[in-house]
Amino acid sequence: MVSPAERKIFVLILFSSVDERLRFTYSGGNFFCIRK
């Protein structure tokens, strides 16, 4: 079983990784468009 603390950490990592991706998209917009 996953403890509430572990789940909280997992959620934080998940959201932080999404935030990093969004920040990368905005900062390197042209590169992102080329990749698509």
- What digits encode the pLDDT tens for the residues 1-36? 779 898 888 888 777 777 776 666 666 655 555 554
Q: Which residue carries 């990093």 as its tokens?
A: 20
34 vs 29: CA distance, rounded Å: 9
Q: Write down how long the chain is.
A: 36
Show the domain range for 28.
Answer: 4-35
26 vs 7: CA distance, rounded Å: 29
* 24 Cβ contact partners less than 8 Å away, ≥ 6 residues apart: 32
Domains of the chain: total: 1
pTM of the model: 0.41
How far are the Cα atoms of 13, 20, 30 from residue 16, in angstroms, in the given order? 5, 6, 22
